[in-house]
Structure 1
């Protein structure tokens, strides 16, 4: 997700919501330091003497560890997995009070995890923006019809703000002329799904104070112009996008925001997720509210700080060692790592590449100079955190790896280091990650939605065939994860779609296969959303596999991904989800 979403949208619309004031934050963080160690010690004591509460049987159960052999039954109590194996062995542990869940052929796997999901931001966008995305409207004409319907049912003068529009998939950019033709009495603003581009009509520009004599804005924002030199309706980069958004959206109340997060978490649970990690878009002063809220959510929440909050993050470093998640006491909320944004978007051709984009001399740009990236890594390490970074282009990945190696070295004891997206990673960079002990987290929907555009418009072959290189990582024995990056793709939550994309690498626009040699098998694909995802958020000791003593986070699927045809895996639905031994959905 783009830096704009982090530094502006959330700060403007959330700081007065879930968060408390500065004094409350300091008071709360001090209390955490005093109580954290005792709470952690108490919660880690095994309660093996508790009677078995639930036994699952009569369906395939996959521990997703070692050789991935199936077991016949699994028992839980006290929020933990107590035994697994044959039906006869596990049933011997049952008592008169034990509930036996008949899977009826359904498949039981470890709770599925999205290690890169901007949970609060997604909740906020669901609340504030009218969805004009590809998942609901396949063409620009469909979007236009929807906007006209909204205009007809909205009082004149009221803002209409749309999100998730995809210029690559839905039919190109919007112009001032097109939007004015839809309405001159309603300010209309459309934010593209890539987070770097938008469009507006004349009334929106007028209300936002955007006039013909406006020039470039500090920070790189600017407004598009036609061949006649006049504004053409297009808006580029964070400062310009925010200039319009500040006028378009009113701040929601804290109560409404909490309801939005709960609604989003319910969607995640219904999709089959038991945990989401929000990378870099959680402010330190929000921790108290989110930790409290996590106890009423059907999923676990996890987050990493932004590198701009390095000083405030130090208040939480004493909650535990950096190579594990820092679990906030008395909550299902944990912290792991510090994130930085190294470049932009491949779709917007702002991601930093070592070679030019197709048929251009543009290579995109990095967010920092090399010495600045080194300093960011030094500050994160000194504050007690491991690192993760948004890196789309190979040049951005190279700069980040150079900085990491200089500061953290290989296989650092400070914790697992992540490379977010790694979309255009080269083979030598995959090999280097393996050597250094760092791991990538890939966004699968880049293949699913934009594979043909990467091939035909943005990179050409063979570069596009190596995009999002699951296969290269698997061949190098480099562990990796996959993620949604919601709300960046604007797609419905569905972990099994991410699995199918790894198996098929099919672009839905033209049904073409993008880099067939980068496909992986079902074992790699499922580990990427379970075992490895848990490790990448510092919870590998307690989540990600079905093992005795681990937390009983479970996902029940209505089909078996290990035996289903690869091109049908994405259609498998979640039947139930359990978190800490309690059924949350189903």
Structure 2
């Protein structure tokens, strides 16, 4: 039952099952929307091998005037056949600047003309914020591009600037896909620009979802105009909208798939440990500025060395159990047991990307970390046992997968890899109740909206997800296939 202008609406479930509206606490809504519109998709869902991708790029080049940028996206180096090199892309074309963004969002590749257009000299060093470029055995640039500061040198040139009309169209289309998957609220971490806020707030009233966002730590000064909307421990909702703000985001390291995430031990069969985006002093300063601006913090940290640096900064600046709100660790893929215990002691929380297990568990085991370390990747059971109320998320567009919160539930229950059907870390499976909390009540806390969302109880918003079948009576291996029957936001049916 929902209330519309104080009049109850009775819905007969007819054997269906109703849940609190599903929440994705780490989904780059605007970025995903625009990537779908502005990047040419060469992802695993469309092309299974690198040779197929190469053939498609050649065909695209043949249809494109010389000198025109070509920007491709969603390429998966682990599932489609390895990294690109400058030489390989040069073989396709030296008269078109070509940029290929990997699906992990932290690695890309380009040809020599693109490097020239981006004004990247051979002697370029590390960029502020941890961006850098790959080199061959002779020390020459090899075409690989690592981390956001370096990638943006190319993306700013290669990806067309969206018009307000295109931005609106793209977000509306993406929001409809989200509602159809049972999602009622999505949080965009760090990639919403301050100048977009007012227009997104207006647009939110016409979307079938709620939008939540955090600013990048680089926008700390611009963020201050919004702190008057409410206390830091709750979502700051823009007036007359379904758009809210919560927290300040930074990126502490890169990608495990690209072996750029910062680890305390080397990657398998290498001496590489990845790279940190900041020194400990710089990380602490970021936290100080966020606190002074009256924001909580969330940070991308994949490797255990990045997690350690971030925790050191949080503890030094915010202390344990800060009254001003919840501190979040994003992904925390390779978090250690001692770090889980420390996170609990400090009163912080974390959110896991389960698709890492589904898509890359076998690769983590066989070629990136080895069996022992891979078995503790995305350690849901250990986090639950430590008393942490973790959430799970998609990180779209980073996995290139269709929106499906029920897939994230099933992965928590099975931990089965799509590549070979093997199970990675069976000890880290959780029960269904725990898995469902990770897409409902727990993420509502992680975006400062526990008082409004996440449970079915009097006084909260009527955000509902109705499923055709009951997951508790469904075979675990097909939970992700349960159809979403209806999605409701604020007592209004938005899908079904």
Bin of the TM-score, shorter chain as denominator length: over 0.9
Partner of 1:563 in structure 2? 473
Residues 353 and 214 from structure 1, CA distance in 2 versus in 1: closer, same or farther, beyond 3 angstroms? closer
Shift of 1:467: 0.7
- SS of the residue corresponding to residue 298 of structure 1 reads coil
- Structure 2 residue matching 1:191: 3-state secondary structure: strand
The answer to whether the aligner puts 1:462 opposite 2:388 as a matched pair is no
Residue 512 of structure 1 deviates from its aligned partner by: 1.1
Residue 374 of structure 1 and its aligned partner are, at CA, apart by: 2.6
Root mean square deviation, CA, Å? 2.3
Look up the match of 2:2. Answer: 76
How many Å separate the matches in 2 of 1:519 and 1:485?
A: 21
Counterpart in the other structure of 2:69: 159
For 1:412, the equivalent position in structure 2 comes to: 322
User: CA offsets per residue over residues 410-468 of structure 1, 9 Å max, x none?
Assistant: 22211122111111111111112222211110011111111111111111121110011
Residue 397 of structure 2 aligns to a residue in which SS?
coil
- The reply to whether residue 324 of structure 1 matches residue 250 of structure 2 is no
Q: Structure 2 length as normaliser, TM-score?
A: 0.93
Matched, 1:451 2:361: yes
Cα offset for 1:209?
A: 5.3
Alignment of 1:298-337 (within 5 A): 298-337=208-247
8 Å CA contact retained: 1:282, 1:304: yes
1:137 aligned partner: 47
- The aligned residue for residue 530 of structure 1 is 440
Q: Does 1:296 align with 2:222?
A: no
Aligned to 2:385: 475
8 Å Cα contact 1:185-1:203 kept in structure 2: yes
Counterparts of 2:316 and 2:84, CA distance in 1: 45
TM-score (norm 1): 0.80
| Residues 328 and 564 of structure 1, relative CA distance in 2, 3 Å threshold | same
Q: Secondary structure at the match of 1:508?
A: coil
- In structure 2, the partner of 1:13 is none
Given that 2:2 and 2:10 are in contact with CA atoms closer than 8 Å, whether structure 1 keeps it comes out as: no
Distance verdict in 2 for CA 1:157–1:562, change over 3 Å: same
Greater mean deviation of Cα atoms: 297-306 or 144-153:
144-153
User: Is 2:299–2:329's contact at 8 Å kept on the other side of the alignment?
Assistant: yes
Q: What is the SS of the residue equivalent to 2:305?
A: helix
Distance 2:452 2:299 in 1: 25
* Partner-residue secondary structure (3-state), 1:242: helix
- How far residue 156 of structure 1 moved from its aligned partner, in angstroms, is 4.8
Matched, 1:268 2:178: yes
Shift of 1:216: 3.9
Q: 1:343 to 1:200 in 2, by over 3 A?
A: closer
Alignment of 1:172 onto 2:98: no
Task: State the match for 1:572 in structure 2.
Answer: 482
State the partner residue of 1:382.
292
Q: 1:528 offset after TM fit, Å?
A: 0.3
Match of 1:104 among 4, 14, 21: 14
Match of 2:334 among 412, 418, 424: 424
Could you tell me how far apart the structure 2 residues matched to 1:395 and 1:223 are? 21
The partner residue of 2:56 within 130, 146, 150 is: 146
TM-aligned CA deviation for residue 155 of structure 1: 4.5
Match of 1:400 among 310, 316, 329: 310
- Out of 148, 157, 168, the position equivalent to 1:247 is 157
CA contact (8 A) 1:506 1:512 kept: yes
CA distance in 2 between counterparts of 1:206 and 1:390 reads: 30
| Deviation per residue, 1:85-138 (Å, 9 max, x gap) | xxxxxxxxxxxx865433332221111000011111111211110111112222
Contact 1:79 1:551 in 2 (8 A): no
Cα distance change, pair 325–221 in 1 and its aligned pair in 2 (3 A) = closer
Going from structure 1 to structure 2, the CA distance change for 1:359 and 1:479 (only over 3 Å counts) comes to same
Aligned partner of residue 147 in structure 1, secondary structure: helix
From the superposition, tell whether residues 403 and 246 of structure 1 become closer, same or farther in structure 2 (CA, over 3 Å).
Answer: closer
Q: Secondary structure in 2 aligned to 1:358? A: coil
C-alpha distance in 2 between matches for 1:400 and 1:234: 27
- Counterpart Cα distance in 2 of 1:129 and 1:386: 33
Alpha-carbon distance in 2 for matches of 1:395, 1:79: 52
Distance 1:500 1:247 in 2: 40
Q: Distance in 2 between matches of 1:223 and 1:352?
A: 16
C-alpha distance in 1 between matches for 2:345 and 2:299: 18
Change (3 A) 1:426 1:237: closer
**Could you tell me which of 431, 453, 475 is aligned with 1:521?**
431
> SS at the partner of 1:274?
strand
8 Å CA contact retained: 1:534, 1:540 = yes
Q: Does 1:436 align with 2:346?
A: yes
Contact 1:326–1:335, Cα closer than 8 Å, also in 2: yes
Gaps of at least 5 residues in structure 1 are 1-74, 81-96
Count the aligned residue pairs. Answer: 495
Higher deviation after alignment, 365-374 or 223-232: 223-232
Q: Which residue of 2 aligns with 1:366?
A: 276
Could you say which residue in structure 2 is the equivalent of 1:42? none
Contact 1:351/1:364, CA 8 A, preserved across alignment: yes
Query: Structure 2 stretches of 5 or more lacking a match?
Result: none
Q: 1:11 matched to which residue of 2?
A: none
Contact 1:217 1:239 in 2 (8 A): no
- Preserved contact between residue 261 and residue 303 of structure 2 (Cα < 8 Å): yes
> CA, structure 1 residues 109+143, in 2 after alignment: closer, same or farther (shift >3 Å)?
same
Contact 1:79–1:552 (8 Å) recurs in 2: no
More deviation in 276-285 or 434-443? 276-285
